[in-house]
Structure 1
Amino acid sequence: MSDLSQKPVEDLTEDEARAELEGLAKSIAAADIAYHQNDAPEITDAEYDALRQRNKAIEEAFPDLVRADSPTGVVGAAPAEGFAKVRHAVPMLSLAKAYTDEDVVDFIARGRRFFERDKDLDIAFTAEPKIDGLSASLRYENGVFVQGATRGDGAVGEDITANLRTIKDIPHKLSGSGWPEVIEIRGEVYMTYAEFQALKERSAAAGGQDYVNPRNTAAGSLRQKDPTITASRNLRFFAYAWGFASEEPAPTQYEAVQKFAEWGFQISPLMVRATNADELIAHYRTIEAQRASLGYDIDGVVYKVDQLELQRRWGFVTGEPRWAIAHKFPAERATTVVRGIDIQVGRTGTLAPVARLDPVSVGGVTVVNVTLHNEDYIAGKDSNGLPIREGKDIRIGDSVVIQRAGDVIPQIVDVLVEKRPADAVPYEMPHSCPVCGSPATREINEKTGKEDSRRRCTGELICPAQAVESLKHFASRGALDIEGLGAENIELFFSTGLVKTAADIFTLKDRRADVQRVMAEKREEQARARELASGKTRKNVRSVEDRNYQGLDKLFAAIDARREPELDRFIFALGIHHIGETTAAVLARTFGTMEELMRVGKETAAAEDPTTVFPSVDGIGGTVIDALVDFFGNERNDEVLDALLAEVHPKPYVVTISADSVVAGKTIVFTGSLEKMTRSEAKAMAERLGAKVAGSVSAKTDILVAGPGAGSKLKTAQEHGVEVISEDEWFERIGR
């Protein structure tokens, strides 16, 4: 999104509002999928709420611009694939949010204004903790649990009946009496801190995955295909509402929830009745004070009008009940001390500073590390000495205030300078990679002329910290496209020492016995982890020596098939910083062979002024030249590259422009699903024939090659009168 979000809504032009609503719709939709479908939120709750508030404010100011895909009124995300769908008889709605005491006072005032004609009406409210888990709806017929579902998008959820049956807080048959013939009990599935920690320890002991937080883990556990795994996670359930009911369980919210307890459900012991805003806010403070000792995550307090008749009368607005609101907690904070700053090297070589802290509990989670982003953030100023807004001037020994943003991501929000030790000195980032010793540099942004805030290791091929991701990139579809050598196998081969550099991939066949042994041991380890997680004991387990991996021959054949790759693919596969597919093609076309590119690259790296050696090439700027200098100027890369070229022999880049090349000089655009070639292969083919390949259609486009599913580009081409041909017609045109 642009910087428009910094502009007050009342100052937006119509075009700015339209553009921002489009960006907000995309951002909110992506966040919904990450949170509700993938159980892996990418932004904090506060950031998500801010996006929705901004969207709502713009829609209210510009009602004619409300989009068909507006997130207003949308709840959650569409059900994930793999589960049967359940349509809720009564939609599962989200709640409006309150962030301040004033918001709560306003909520109460709106209710009293709505019912002001009823002079003697005594409105009551309920207040209860907002559990941070996964919403579920449980259908009971004649007191028997028959079906359970997730919230999904509010209208349709996922059928997770078998998994819900494993939760001890969910009765298979209702107790007591007086329950309706049909009722959908709704509540929250959650995981306690103790169970979450126990699961992490069991998984670590078995060499399994790590888990981020209780909410995501509970959601993932509830979506397991094997109910025995769900059962092993000891999930819990609080009941607090209902959907469809053949008759109302009670005349008030409070009495209905007490009925749930009689029927065998767990309900929150912190639910109370109140008559005014002061009482509600006072209970909010009580719950907030107990938050860290509850043993499970909550992120606020929910207030509801107590009388069901008044709920019906006040009604709903755009996917939310008017009669309920969620009063969110601010992020929890705690004070601790920075004992050290470690440097982690990321997959692209970025040096990421991490503060080591005295352990401190924040929101029920013990925090021992927190990211410091980059050296400008640590220093509190940029490379020119100018203050930056988010900078903290963080030093080893400082007392700092920590909060978990959105109750997930720890961050430093303040430095208590008054407690700073007298011997604390400004922190200086290392100028060499702590993993491989290669120079770590800060690049200059061509557009702004400013130094980048992050420092990067230049040892792309020899840095172990970058090796795994570099190997994944090398084998990926856009690069050498080695079928069967996916991320999981690369991680396995690297961790066991079978593959340390790209050259090692091409000698795997010579070490077949070692490869087979490693893969067998990995599968055995995974089976043990599943057994531990599910509580099941395997029977008739064969020894690893008995396992037969016929797929190895297919993998080795796929590797051998890539020993003579196209030059542009090979250059791209090296993973040189700033060298994408397009730039790799330009370099291949310019230099023709890998040997020539290496020669010029080394001469350029050795020159005092690289621009006097590297030829002027359209599409190659200073940033790319600097990246090539870093790569070819690092002698440690030479040995790795030489070993790779002993196994792999890139084809010379040949431009086959001839008198009969009917597309030479023409601008081509490819769109839709190509069935006989990949997009990168199509691009390379056209460029070898002397054509220019563009990414978008304009009046200057000569030919649009459209495969199945062509969309807006096809429409634009037709509007401009651009020639449109099929993939088959393209091959006929170029004589292939």
Structure 2
Amino acid sequence: MLGHNGAVSTVNAKNAQQATDANGQSLNPEEPSEALRERYAQLSDRVREARAAYYVHDQPTISDAEYDALYRELEEFEALHPELKTNDSPTQEVGGEVGAAFSPVTHLEKMYSLEDVFSTDELVAWLERAQQQVEQLPGAPEVAWLSEVKIDGLAVNLLYRDGVLVRAATRGDGTTGEDITHNVATIKTIPQRLRGEGFPEEVEIRGEVFISSQDFRALNEAMVEEGRAPFANPRNAAAGSLRQKDPEVTARRPLSMFVHGIGYARGFELTTQSAAYDVLKDWGLPVSPYSRVLRSVPEVLEFIAEFGDKRHSLLHEIDGIVVKVDDRRTQFRLGYTSRVPRWAVAYKYPPEEVNTTLLDILVNVGRTGRVTPFGLMEPVRVAGSTVEMATLHNQDVVKAKGVLIGDTVVLRKAGDVIPEIVGPVVALRDGSEREFVMPTECPSCGTPLRPAKEGDVDIRCPNAETCPSQLKERVNHAAGRGAFDIEALGEEAAKALTQPVPLDAPDGTDLSVPPLRNEAGLFDLTPEDLRNVQVWRDTRRTVTDPDTGEKVQRVTQQLVPYFWTKPTKAKPSVPSKTTEMMFAQLHEARNTDLWRVLVALSIRHVGPTAARSLAVAFRSMDAIRAADQETLAGTDGVGPVIAQAVREFFEEPWRRNVVEQWTRAGVRMEEELDESTPRTLEGVTVVVTGSLEGYSRDSAKEAILSRGGKASGSVSKKTDFVVAGENAGSKLDKAESLGVPVLDESGFVQLLEQGPGAFGDVTAGADENEGE
């Protein structure tokens, strides 16, 4: 949520003394100049414009991260030049302005914003400072911290008289908000009358209105289908819905609310904030399930890390954690500044959403021929890395998101998750944007594109055997960790093997023929076959600038050997160390497990789980090849879809040739039964979550499968055991809610050795088949 309604961020005075503006100019000359005054006015105006776009018009023009940086720059400016700060500065306001579309209403008690901190160091400093202030209060209790997720929604104030909802208003500027009573009345989770008794005659209840992540996706798809611009994020979808002039439109929007505080309530006293939540729940009001009372700063930091890991699996979007002093009397004694309470703080997670320009939409052809659009963007840093590409899945997704080439788009990247284009910033369109048109021919080989079967959303290149893009992806896949595990054969090497730079030898010999025309020849390659493979590489060299005479670096492209070293006067060209490693690993891969060979063949839908099931059931490639579709489908973990894909694979002559050529090259096509490993987990489904000291994710899965068990990736009622290591997340929560037995690492070892009998009759039965 944008600056938590313009919340105040912590400013380091030492850093402020050394502050510079966006152009690198010092912000603290001896006397404010006209240029500084102008700069201050520009900064203030930019913050006001961004705030109005976000809160009043529900069409944000910059990302939350950009707003926070801009707001902090303004704070630092004012810290250095307090004589320039005006009473109407954005830093002196609690929140957004009051729009003209709805009647203004005055809150019975002011709605404050929260102080924002952006690092755990800042948070720890705030908590320690607050704790010291509490300890100085006579008779103050030991500090307990009520910690809860910071909902990315719209702050709303509900007024109940004699238990009946009589008014609902936005936060506005903290003192005056907009009357949205008729629209809030359409939200099913907000009671029109409080339940029970004992509530004050007049009480203000504060909370956040939001749209769940799942409902937001469905809402945006429906908006695009109707030819309307999609919302940029769930918060603005909620705000836009609440500001509809027609309550019937609001009623059709999937709005929800969680309440988190009590404002005006004469004569009503509670000991703790957490107790207030229990009371609100008893009155029939919806309270967030994501809160916890903690007793120490380390526990607060653990809470932040926990919800940082699972923030995208929650019901709604969050952008941080709010930490409050739980004791209500202590809150009152600590009091408020003019803008924020001294007893609460908002920690904001590092930005996972930024704005950037969508330069183009291109397509990629994958190993199964699927043609996938992806966005090419102006490079931007988000979630710790620089991103310039993001998948768009298929043409229907492009349409559903409503993005146009040239748009400013909202880009999200959560940790190691693949970057996602959330949607366009419609307010910034200038008419130069254009629609994406899906190609009708394969960009790699020119073959007309078509769906694999009628009704498919995805379109594919049917030229599976010789399409260069598909071949490159299949070779890269075959060398992957889940297949032959040839570390020295990565994506660049796969491209060099299948798509080398066209080149003619001095004697006129055509050297442009790639070493691999399909993957059948992978194990027949020799170092000599790769001698002439060349690729373009960026090279840096220092030159003298003709204008300045200074030494500068220039980047140029140069053709260089990929698999062999570049010859010199002292040394001839020889296979590189990486190439030698690649051939050594290819030799070792000939003796790999049968299931890995099945994965390496790129049979559609056949991933590691189905491949293991086929290898265990049939023991050899010949037996799998000879089996009919019904027999294949009857194999545990396979089913009719995978069975059909396997039969279709072996019906293709060129695919059969791959298997036969690998067999002639010495690749083992039979499963060796390891009699030394007991089958202790036959029919048992195990889910491993978190990190274990003695097992990697792959080795834990291998240990389960080699004993006849099923290693599932999700928890259900049919899961038999969940093994929880360090930092176990939502899977552990779900296991506990379903009553699935949970084991630690020592229990996992016992399960592997002795089977489920070691824990009594607790198994729930085999899990349902899962797609790959």
TM-score normalized with structure 2 length: 0.45
